[in-house]
Amino acid sequence: MTALNSPFRGLGGIKVFAPATVANVVCGFDVLGFAVNAPGDEVVMRLVGKPGVAITKIEGDNGKLPKAAEKNTVSASVQHYLKYVDRTDVGVEIELYKKMPIGSGLGSSSASTVAGLYAINKLMGDLLTPMEMVPFAMKGEELACGYGHADNVAPAMLGGFVLIRSYEPLDIIKLPVPQGLYCAIVFPDVDVPTRDARQMIRKSVQLKDAVVQWGNVAGLVSGLFMNDLDLIGRSMHDVLVEPTRSILIPDFYKMREMAMEGGAISFGISGSGPSVFAFTRDEQTANVITQKIQQHLKTLNINSYTYVSAVNEQGPQILG
Ligand code: HSE
């Protein structure tokens, strides 16, 4: 269905998809992320006569998300947007369709927030660029987990691989996407709230560990520019965050072993977990790895969900 003949548009509304994201990309805590084609969330948004922002429906959240406008990340970020563009006279109704798990480490809140911001910006006639909307999406992250990190919202909004070179001032750089790269994701259905997973990390680091880490971040970014999957793979090691967070993830090191033996070029935690991901050179290898890990988790009585995707270069998409 094209945007023009959409039933949503006919009613002064729009339907937008925004993608899940893998933040950190192992070595780049809070500064690197990329988007995937699936899963993702959908938002339907309509302009109404009465000023104000309201969530009228949420589906797929098992009742977990707040509907109050100032507490929900979608409506709250739309409120920030409307204030910034000086259009608090506008009335908006929002329906949120959660099509991905909450608390998975796949940027669930960010996918919803970005879909909402993309939708309102389209309805308002593209007043801002996607890059200019990232700070409003960061407000949503602040609400969701206590800190406005950009490594989920920026790739969800811009697509592809993204580097947050600096937070103050905000300086976001789009990076190249290597050809043939596939991502295998497994979400073990255990609870790891981002807020808690952030609090458990050490607040200071040793210089020798920092040297390892920034060497790896530079190596990964170089690998993306050089289209060098070997360099990308050997750079994806994290000595700062993973040793602590992996404790929360069932059989993390066994899953890594299985992925690497199955032909992955790298393996690590997606965002704050519990999802894990591997990069592979092709789709088939990614499929086999996700199936093997899923079977292994089953033997531990842990339910899991798997996703295989190329890197999503488009970002949000108008569905109708
Ligand atoms: N960089 C964030 C973290 C991503 O690791 O806490 C959360 O998805």
Backbone region of residue 154 per phi and psi (left: phi > 0; alpha: psi in -120 to 50; beta: other values):
alpha
CATH number of 182-310: 3.30.70.890
Mean pLDDT of the region 132-145: 94
Catalytic option among 73, 194, 280, 285: 194
The pLDDT of residue 5 is above 80 = no
Which of 95, 141, 242, 290 is the catalytic position?
141
Average pLDDT, the chain: 94
Angstrom distances, CA of residue 60 to CA of 36, 156, 188: 20, 20, 18
The mean pLDDT value for 295-309 works out to 97
The pLDDT tens digits of the residues spanning 165-203 come to: 999 999 999 999 999 999 999 999 998 878 888 888 989
Ligand 1 site-directed mutation target among 198, 202, 269, most atoms within 8 Å of CB: 198
CB of residue 21 inside a 6 A radius of ligand 1: no
| Phi and psi based region of residue 135 (left: phi greater than 0; alpha: psi -120 to 50; beta: remaining) | alpha
95 is a catalytic site residue = no
Both tokens of 160, joined, read: 């592809």
Query: Model confidence at 51, in pLDDT bands (50, 70, 90)?
Result: very high
Residue 164, Cβ neighbours under 10 Å: how many?
Answer: 23
Confidence of residue 42 (pLDDT cuts 50, 70, 90): very high
Quick one: pLDDT band at residue 11, thresholds 50, 70, 90? low
Order of all β-strands in the sheet with 276-280 = 266-269, 276-280, 182-188, 304-310
Pocket residue to mutate for ligand 1, from 24, 26, 142, 192, most atoms within 8 A of Cβ = 24
Q: Which atom of ligand 1 is nearest to the CA of 105?
A: 8
Q: For the chain, which residues make up each domain, given as ranges? A: 13-175, 182-310
Q: How confident is the model at residue 10 (pLDDT cuts 50, 70, 90)?
A: very low
Judge if the beta carbon of residue 120 lies within 6 A of ligand 1: no
- CATH architecture of the domain with residue range 13-175: 2-Layer Sandwich (3.30)
For 234, the enclosing helix (H) or strand (E) is: helix 229-235
Give me the pLDDT at residue 196, please.
Answer: 83
* pLDDT higher at 25 or 203: 25
Cα 298 from chain centre: 26
Ligand 1 midpoint to CA 146 (Å): 11
Is the CB of residue 271 below 6 angstroms from any atom belonging to ligand 1? yes
Residue 291 has pLDDT above 80, yes or no: yes
Give the mean pLDDT of 253-269.
Answer: 98
Contact 45, 123 (CB under 8 A): yes
Q: Is 142 a catalytic residue?
A: no
